[in-house]
Amino acid sequence: MEPDEDLGLIAEEIYANGDEKKQRHRPIISGEQLDIEAYAALYSGRTKIMRLLFIADRCGNASMQLEALRMGYDEIKKGENTQLFREVVQKIDGPLGTNYGPDPAWADSVDRRADLRKEKLESELNAYRTNLIKESIRMAYNDFGDFYYAHGQLGEAFRNYVRTRDYCTTAKHIIHTCLNAILVSIEMGQFTHATSYVSKAEQTPEALDPVSVAKLRCAAGLAHLEAKKFKLAARKFLETGAELGNNFTEVIAPQDVATYGGLCELASFDRTELKASIEYTLNFRNFLELVPEVRELIHDFCSSHYASCLDYLGNLKTNLLLAIHLHDHVEMLYNQIRHKALIQFTHPFVSVDLRMMANAFKTSVAGLGKELEALITDNQIQARIDSHNKMLYARHADQRNATFQRVLQTGNEFARDVRAMLLRANLLKHEYNLRASRKP
């Protein structure tokens, strides 16, 4: 490797990164099985159940699947969603014993209570609408939204929450309506609705307390993540205040803010932006303390310790694929992070030994060559590959020659302008234009 004159120290550090004997001895997170109980404890409400069922569907491990279903079964019985209860019983299908089988008595009892509750709500709403009491009508629609949400009828819940908008009398009522609409929209996967209601809530800043602002930042971050707008998502998660705490566990946990935000910024921020975000965003640093693995992989990336960074990512991947909002984006995020690492690795050097680089990135020379070819073709790396000698040669612009060319061009333009000025001055001196106009 032949580094530029000013980059000797960087070269030594990055070269050491590819040499196993010189790598820093730092504990790498293990690829152990996800602790489902600890994970589920981070959440509350419907999202806790849906995350458990998602894990059961995706984990590919029989014991882990049954554990997730068992916990999901117990959690559902604390609520009133009998339809979801029947679906979980069907998925369990016996292995957990009679205590986790159909419970028709419980389901029938819940359904009967639900029918009575619905009749009462309808009666109250009709009475309030007759009397035209706006606040009572708003509360009645809100109660209907809560009722349908508890029973898993998300479409009806959303419609009733939205109807309260016409009967809001204070700014705080509007914020409450928007947060309810956002909650149900995220549960339904309708992130465009979530974005819309985030904007509506932000239009009444005088009623927004720090907790509500943090919730809106998270909701906007999830919507951008779903749309694969990783840079926008990263900014929203970085802007999330520490006031979030455990106040939004029905949607997202503080640990998710660190994980989603960290991966999105690694994939989309350049090195300067990344260092600035870690240095100056105090709130986000506090979130990162909750997930040391993400904190360390970001630090490794900023410090050009790419092998260690990729080790962290590799160990995290299995569990990240079980995250309900992140699983669809893991491969794309990982690819973008790896490509950025390859680009940053090659940037300071005139030439790079592909064998050493392949060692640093834990891949074969042939595999690395294909990755670099794709980046060169996409014009993300200005270089050429010597396949015979296994070297990568940078195509750095000749700054000295380019400067001379610009000076020469400027000189030529100046000389042309001076000649034109002299010609014009001589024409005026001899009154050439005047005499020419007087010719018969």
Query: For residue 116, what pLDDT band results from cuts at 50, 70 and 90?
Result: very high
Looking at the domain assignment, is residue 421 inside a domain? Answer: yes
223 is written with which tokens? 């919507």
Looking at the domain assignment, is residue 416 inside a domain? Answer: yes
Collapsing DSSP to helix, strand or coil, 386 comes out as strand
pLDDT in tens, 160-179: 999 999 999 999 999 999 99
Task: Give the helix/strand (H/E) hosting 253.
Answer: none
Query: For residue 4, what pLDDT band results from cuts at 50, 70 and 90?
Result: very low
Looking at the domain assignment, is residue 429 inside a domain? Answer: yes
Alpha carbons 59 and 327: distance in angstroms, whole number: 12
Burial class (CB in 10 A: 0-12, 13-18, 19+), 81: buried
Give the pLDDT mean for 147-151.
Answer: 96
What percent of the chain clears pLDDT 70, i.e. is strictly above it? 89
| Cα atoms found within 13 Å of the Cα of residue 105, Cβ hemisphere only | 0
Query: For residue 82, what pLDDT band results from cuts at 50, 70 and 90?
Result: very high
Give the number of residues written for the chain.
Answer: 440
CB-based burial, 242-277: b 16+ in 10 Å, e otherwise: eebeeebbebbbbebbbbbbbbbbbbbbeeeebeeb
Cα distances (angstroms) measured from residue 402 to each of 6, 348, 351: 20, 20, 21
Looking at the domain assignment, is residue 411 inside a domain? Answer: yes
| Amino acid 252: pLDDT | 95
Q: Closest Cα partner for 306 from 372, 376, 358, 234?
A: 358
Cα distances (angstroms) measured from residue 249 to each of 36, 80, 149, 355, 386: 16, 19, 16, 47, 53
Alpha carbons 392 and 349: distance in angstroms, whole number: 9
Cα distances (angstroms) measured from residue 186 to each of 79, 140, 406: 20, 23, 56
Which residue range is the domain that position 421 belongs to?
Answer: 406-438
How confident is the prediction for the chain on average, in pLDDT? 85
Query: For residue 433, what pLDDT band results from cuts at 50, 70 and 90?
Result: low
| Amino acid 28: pLDDT | 32
Collapsing DSSP to helix, strand or coil, 393 comes out as strand
How many domains, the chain?
A: 1
pLDDT in tens, 333-385: 999 998 888 888 887 777 888 888 888 787 888 888 888 888 888 777 878 88
Query: For residue 394, what pLDDT band results from cuts at 50, 70 and 90?
Result: confident
Looking at the domain assignment, is residue 410 inside a domain? Answer: yes
Looking at the domain assignment, is residue 54 inside a domain? Answer: no
Burial class (CB in 10 A: 0-12, 13-18, 19+), 186: buried
Output the 3-class SS for 143-195.
HHHHHHHHCCCHHHHHHHHHHHHHHCCCHHHHHHHHHHHHHHHHHHCCHHHHH
Looking at the domain assignment, is residue 422 inside a domain? Answer: yes
| Amino acid 3: pLDDT | 45
In this structure, are residues 394 and 405 in contact, taking their beta carbons and an 8 Å threshold?
no
| Amino acid 183: pLDDT | 96
| pLDDT of residue 323 exceeding 90 | yes
Alpha carbons 244 and 253: distance in angstroms, whole number: 9
| Cα Dmax for the chain | 120
| Cα atoms found within 13 Å of the Cα of residue 9, Cβ hemisphere only | 2
In this structure, are residues 392 and 342 in contact, taking their beta carbons and an 8 Å threshold?
no
| Amino acid 23: pLDDT | 39
Beta-bridge partner residues of 394: 383
Collapsing DSSP to helix, strand or coil, 352 comes out as strand
| Amino acid 137: pLDDT | 94
Amino acid, single-letter form, for residue 352: V
Residues 211, 213, 217, 222, CA torsion sign: positive
Looking at the domain assignment, is residue 157 inside a domain? Answer: no
Alpha carbons 381 and 6: distance in angstroms, whole number: 20
Task: Give the helix/strand (H/E) hosting 383.
Answer: strand 383-386
pLDDT in tens, 283-304: 888 899 999 999 998 988 888 8
Burial class (CB in 10 A: 0-12, 13-18, 19+), 414: exposed
pLDDT in tens, 10-65: 444 444 444 443 333 333 333 467 889 999 999 999 999 999 999 999 988 889 99
Select the more confidently predicted residue: 344 or 313. Answer: 313
